[in-house]
Amino acid sequence: MDPDVIEVRGLAKRYGAVEALRGLDLTVRPGDVYGFLGRNGAGKSTTIRILMGITRPSGGSVRMFGEPGGHDLVSWRQRIGYVAQEQSFYGWMTPVSIARFVRAFFPRWDDAEYTRLLRVLDVPSARRIGTFSGGTKVKLALALALAHRPPLLLLDEPTAGLDPVARREFLEIVRHEAEHSGRTTFFSSHLVDEIELVANRVGVVDEGRTRYEGTIDDLVQRVRVVRASELADPAPLHAAIAELQLAVRHEEVREGERRIVVESDDPARFDALAPTIPDAVIELLPLEEVFIAMVRRRA
Ligand SMILES: Nc1ncnc2c1ncn2[C@@H]1O[C@H](COP(=O)(O)OP(=O)(O)OP(=O)(O)O)[C@@H](O)[C@H]1O
């Protein structure tokens, strides 16, 4: 069996007093389109910078392509197509001229593939990059990242700053390229709809730790909302929830209704809850609500 493309265990990173990562675990398998989902400041960029060898971890281990970190950074980077959060190109260069520099770093650089990608992505090859919109600059970065045919594409919140149409187009291209190349794609975002559109597996990071790793379907199954009349005594509800050791993530009373959002890594417990609280309704939530429930700080 092929080794995992990325295997991170107990990753830690401290910036002075700030603990950006506190024991992060990730497993990205060959062919995954992996969505790395977390709030602002959760530790996504720090993780990606460590994977790229730009930042050194304070603890934990990283393996990529089955090889331990820290011994041959150049060989790792030659197998990674990287699109950073912000694009910094020289405005006087053109896509054609910049490729002459970039290709020197990648033995597997493929001119025909670069030309194809510029055409598919609708990036003008001979125009000065300084005249490009933000969306076209990101697409150029994607073409440069893919033209050396890397087995792993790493995207660090690439759609930040794009309008909704440009965002959608970019994500569809990423999905299409992943489907047709079989390449592993690792893609960070704080936007649930992006992850839902592109990813087949997801890692939720919160305060520098992995809160969840698996499929989107299983993620949605972890959380339920329990709805009951505001007039009913909440004590039996709370007792039943505590009895089954469900974690209460949020509770509010609104428009005559009490809503309690609960989480469990064992969905069978929700089935066990239903008969004990006959006057309440137990429902699934949309993915965005599930994510918010998992990472929101409780008041
Ligand atoms: N160079 C640095 N020096 C000090 N603190 C830093 C540095 N880089 C990141 N941090 C802190 O580490 C934490 C994680 O930051 P990181 O950029 O990895 O998060 P993120 O999930 O990528 O967030 P965003 O979605 O806002 O980009 C934050 O608290 C951030 O302020």
Residue 16 Cα: closest atom of ligand 1: 4
- Is the distance from the beta carbon of residue 56 to the nearest atom of ligand 1 less than 6 Å? no
Rounded Cα distance, 206 and 247, in Å: 16
Same domain for 10 and 65: yes
Same domain for 278 and 229: yes
Structural domain count, the chain: 2
- List the residue whose alpha carbon is closest to atom 16 of ligand 1: 43
Distances (CA, A) of 71 to 9, 28, 45, 64, 283: 17, 20, 22, 11, 50
From 158, 184, 218, the end of a domain falls on: 218
Residue 1 lies in a domain: no
Contacts of 201 (CB under 8 A, 6+ apart): 28, 29, 32, 33, 34, 35, 213, 214, 215, 216
Residue 64 lies in a domain: yes
- Residue 268 alpha carbon to ligand 1 centre in Å: 37
Residue to mutate, 44, 86, 192, ligand 1, most ligand atoms under 8 Å from C-beta: 44
Residue 13 Cα: closest atom of ligand 1: 12
- Domain range for 193 is 6-218
Q: What is the pTM for the complete model shown?
A: 0.90
Residue 206 lies in a domain: yes
Same domain for 259 and 209: no
- Residue pair 133/162 in contact by the 8 Å Cβ criterion: no
- Is the distance from the beta carbon of residue 83 to the nearest atom of ligand 1 less than 6 Å? no
Q: What is the pLDDT of residues 80-136, one digit of tens each?
A: 999 988 888 899 999 999 999 999 999 999 999 999 999 988 899 999 999 998 889
- Residue 148 alpha carbon to ligand 1 centre in Å: 29
- List the residue whose alpha carbon is closest to atom 1 of ligand 1: 15
Contacts of 212 (CB under 8 A, 6+ apart): 202, 203, 204, 219, 222, 294
Same domain for 276 and 157: no
Tell me, what CATH number does 11's domain have?
3.40.50.300
Residue 92 lies in a domain: yes
Same domain for 212 and 253: no
- Is the distance from the beta carbon of residue 43 to the nearest atom of ligand 1 less than 6 Å? yes
From 165, 196, 218, the end of a domain falls on: 218
Residue 250 lies in a domain: yes
Residue 194 lies in a domain: yes
Across the chain, the runs of DSSP E, i.e. the strands, are 6-15, 18-28, 33-38, 59-64, 67-68, 80-83, 152-156, 184-189, 201-206, 209-214, 223-229, 247-254, 257-263, 281-283
pLDDT at 169: 85
Rounded Cα distance, 37 and 202, in Å: 7
Decide the pairing of beta strands 257-263 and 247-254.
antiparallel
pLDDT at 80: 94
pLDDT at 201: 95
Q: Position of tokens 């060989």?
A: 75
Same domain for 99 and 245: no
Give the residue among 213, 201, 200, 225 at the shortest CA–CA distance from 289.
225
Residue 15 Cα: closest atom of ligand 1: 4
pLDDT at 217: 93
Q: What is the pLDDT of residues 235-244, one digit of tens each?
A: 989 999 999 9
- Is the distance from the beta carbon of residue 158 to the nearest atom of ligand 1 less than 6 Å? no
pLDDT at 298: 57
- List the residue whose alpha carbon is closest to atom 2 of ligand 1: 15
From 171, 186, 218, the end of a domain falls on: 218
Q: Position of tokens 């004590």?
A: 235
- Is the distance from the beta carbon of residue 18 to the nearest atom of ligand 1 less than 6 Å? yes
Same domain for 115 and 226: no
Residue to mutate, 8, 15, 22, ligand 1, most ligand atoms under 8 Å from C-beta: 15
Residue 42 lies in a domain: yes
> Structure tokens of 282?
């137990």
- Residue 134 alpha carbon to ligand 1 centre in Å: 23
Same domain for 250 and 171: no
Mean pLDDT of the chain: 91
> Structure tokens of 26?
């990730």
Same domain for 237 and 159: no
ipTM value, please give it.
Answer: 0.96
- Is the distance from the beta carbon of residue 45 to the nearest atom of ligand 1 less than 6 Å? yes
- List the residue whose alpha carbon is closest to atom 5 of ligand 1: 15
Same domain for 230 and 96: no
Task: Tell me which DSSP letter residue 280 carries.
Answer: S
Same domain for 235 and 194: no
Same domain for 97 and 27: yes
Mind giving me the DSSP string for 131-179?
G--HHHHHHHHHHHHHTT--SEEEEESTTTT--HHHHHHHHHHHHHHHH
- Is the distance from the beta carbon of residue 68 to the nearest atom of ligand 1 less than 6 Å? no
- Residue 76 alpha carbon to ligand 1 centre in Å: 24
Residue 193 lies in a domain: yes
Residues in the chain, pLDDT under 70: 298-299
Rounded Cα distance, 49 and 55, in Å: 5
- Is the distance from the beta carbon of residue 190 to the nearest atom of ligand 1 less than 6 Å? yes
Tell me, what CATH number does 259's domain have?
3.30.70.260
Give the residue among 224, 210, 83, 57 at the shortest CA–CA distance from 144.
83
